């Protein structure tokens, strides 16, 4: 899912659409209508369900009266790959943290049981 958002625009009339290799996409587009921010400005979000194809160019186009012409924003798959890599690194860090926490807990339990055995043995030897 690819998302394109426009914020803080007035008047509310705006056109947001998607291009695939320069041709307007009409299927797989989920658009949210303009929403008021409460301060005379508006926002809109458009989503495109998209399965990347090698060499394909996806763009979001925003047309508004305040622009001198359409604003075209190209989707960069490298950014998405980096985002996926960051999630993977985060998950690896979480797993490593759980392993270290578990090892520390096991070490603490073993050390506590050895100390308990030493105390028990010293009490028994005094008798």
Distances (CA, A) of 27 to 80, 111, 113: 22, 63, 65
2-75 CATH:
2.60.40.10
CB atoms within 10 A of CB 18: 22
Query: What's the pLDDT score for residue 55?
Result: 84
- List the chain domain ranges: 2-75
Q: What are phi and psi of 99, to 5 degrees?
A: -65, -45
Q: Which residue has the tokens 């797993």?
A: 95
User: Is the pTM here over 0.75, yes or no?
Assistant: no
Task: Report residue 70 as tokens.
Answer: 């359409």
pLDDT along the chain (127 residues), means of 10: 90 93 89 83 91 86 95 78 70 90 89 73 58
């Amino acid at each position: 899912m690819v998302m394109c958002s426009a914020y803080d625009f007035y008047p509310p009339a705006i056109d947001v659409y998607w291009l695939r290799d320069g041709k307007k996409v009409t299927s797989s587009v989920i658009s949210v209508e303009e929403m008021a921010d409460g301060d005379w400005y508006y926002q809109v979000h458009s989503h495109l369900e998209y399965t990347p194809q090698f060499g394909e160019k996806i763009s979001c186009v925003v047309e508004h009266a305040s622009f001198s012409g359409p604003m075209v924003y190209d989707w960069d798959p490298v950014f998405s790959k980096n985002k996926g890599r960051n999630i993977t690194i985060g998950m690896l860090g979480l797993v490593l943290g759980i392993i270290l926490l578990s090892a520390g807990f096991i070490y603490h339990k073993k050390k506590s049981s050895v100390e308990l055995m030493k105390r028990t043995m010293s009490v028994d030897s005094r008798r």
